[in-house]
Amino acid sequence: RYKSSQTIAAASSLLELGGVKISKEDVVKDEPTNNVPDLIFTKLGLQLHRRDHHPLGILKNAIYEYFDTNYNNQFHKFDDLCPIVTTKENFDDVLVPSDHVSRSYNDTYYIDTETVLRCHTSAHQADLLRKGYANFLVTGDVYRRDSIDSTHYPVFHQMEGVRVFSPNDWNDSGMDATLYAAHDLKACLEGLARHLFGAVEMRWVDSYFPFTNPSFELEIYFQEKWLEVLGCGVMEQEILKRGGKSDNVAWAFGLGLERLAMVLFDIPDIRLFWSTDKRFTSQFTKGQLGIKFKPFSKYPPCYKDMSFWINDSFTENNLCEIVRGVAGDLAEEVQLIDNFTNKKGMTSHCYRITYRSMERSLTDEEINELQWNVRDQVQSQMNIVLR
């Protein structure tokens, strides 16, 4: 018995990612330049977006269908590129400046100083352009240190789209190349939204990305709030130039697949995508977009507040990382509920942690245990004095 469970553990710590064999020791290392926790490692290689019966797979296939029909199968599709990429691919190749926050250990999972878990599918743009692809979609799992709530998870899925135009395309339009691409981009994504949702309340918001100009985000009204579902824009000319396409213009987008699927299937919490509970998985069918998720009874939440004086190195992402490390998917939300600075200039934060299982009732005992663990680790790892 003991032996067989050991074998299983060994097998699952050796993964094949996009044709590359990777062991746990390659990803999770006890080194200061590595910040990948065990919990993140367990998500590598699951590839929810490649499962035809999973809401993310159903959504991916529906988006494929939209592009295949409207663009005559011109879009090349990639959904198995390795999520372990170089900092060059993830950042430099898409012109992310050397001092940009997204490069920090606070935001990105580093395997070593030159290797990261991709934080967006844009990491593959430049390489595919260099290889000569002009219209393509890249779907994959992406990784970010981030906040904890119903629409944020440290592993999620994106689909990148890139379309390159030639002078012939915009010359007859009377528009300049950039305007032409921006118009085409918005028309494409509005068409996609209609294909997926029919009528839905949405709005465009001007945005900023280092790799596009102009840049936009699309928001959809969901659960009484505006939810950001994608970022996009006209590709910076420098990226095209480096890809040997100086005379072209292009657009690019990055869709948040969980966010779109939450709207599409009425899924109220992003943790559900990882659920293996039959009450979740059995509700979805390959090829069916019209399904609305029926929540199984919601178990009661439990709130725990925690107050402390912050220090210079405090970040909310670090706190969230500790909470996830202790409570995993039992952590529903980590929310700053009070924030003040006293006369001496010391700043106090009060965080409310919501614990709730999607699958069962939690006992007071186990929640107290989790909370004591969180308090312990916050003090020892973040050098913080609790109040």
Binding site for ligand FA5 (CB under 6 A): 120, 122, 144, 146, 152-153, 156, 158, 160, 209, 211-212, 228-233, 252-254, 256, 258-259
Cβ(333)–Cβ(150) under 8 Å? yes
Q: How far apart are CA 167 and CA 183, in angstroms?
A: 15
Could you tell which of ligand FA5, Mg ion, none binds residue 253, using a CB distance below 5 to 8 A set by kind? ligand FA5
Q: How far apart are CA 38 and CA 107, in angstroms?
A: 17
- DSSP annotation of 187 reads H
Q: How far is the CB of 228 from ligand FA5 (least distance, A)?
A: 4
Q: How far is the CB of 345 from ligand FA5 (least distance, A)?
A: 32
Q: How far is the CB of 70 from ligand FA5 (least distance, A)?
A: 19
Q: How far apart are CA 77 and CA 161, in angstroms?
A: 9
* Cα angle 66-46-119, degrees, rounded to a multiple of 5: 70
Cβ(36)–Cβ(117) under 8 Å? yes
Nearer to Mg ion, 212 or 318 (CB): 212
Please name the residue ranges forming H helices in 217-331.
237-242, 257-265, 278-281, 316-327
Could you tell which of Mg ion, ligand FA5, none binds residue 329, using a CB distance below 5 to 8 A set by kind? none
Could you tell which of Mg ion, ligand FA5, none binds residue 156, using a CB distance below 5 to 8 A set by kind? ligand FA5
Q: Can you read off the two tokens belonging to residue 309?
A: 């004086």
Q: How far apart are CA 107 and CA 97, in angstroms?
A: 15
Could you tell which of Mg ion, ligand FA5, none binds residue 259, using a CB distance below 5 to 8 A set by kind? ligand FA5
Nearer to ligand FA5, 95 or 362 (CB): 95
Q: How far is the CB of 222 from ligand FA5 (least distance, A)?
A: 11
Q: How far apart are CA 229 and CA 207, in angstroms?
A: 13
Q: How far apart are CA 140 and CA 121, in angstroms?
A: 7
Nearer to ligand FA5, 257 or 384 (CB): 257
Q: How far is the CB of 344 from ligand FA5 (least distance, A)?
A: 35
Q: How far is the CB of 172 from ligand FA5 (least distance, A)?
A: 26
Could you tell which of ligand FA5, Mg ion, none binds residue 243, using a CB distance below 5 to 8 A set by kind? none
Nearer to ligand FA5, 57 or 231 (CB): 231
Could you tell which of ligand FA5, Mg ion, none binds residue 60, using a CB distance below 5 to 8 A set by kind? none
Q: Can you read off the two tokens belonging to residue 313?
A: 């190195």
Q: How far apart are CA 192 and CA 120, in angstroms?
A: 21
Letter string b/e over residues 335-349, b meaning 16 or more CB atoms within 10 A of that residue's CB: beeeeeeeeeeeeeb
Q: Across-strand partners of 235?
A: 212
Could you tell which of Mg ion, ligand FA5, none binds residue 219, using a CB distance below 5 to 8 A set by kind? none
Nearer to Mg ion, 154 or 231 (CB): 231
Cβ(41)–Cβ(27) under 8 Å? yes
Q: How far is the CB of 183 from Mg ion (least distance, A)?
A: 22
Nearer to ligand FA5, 226 or 309 (CB): 226
How far does Cα 280 stand from its chain's mean position?
21
Interface with Mg ion (CB under 5 A): 231
Nearer to ligand FA5, 133 or 253 (CB): 253
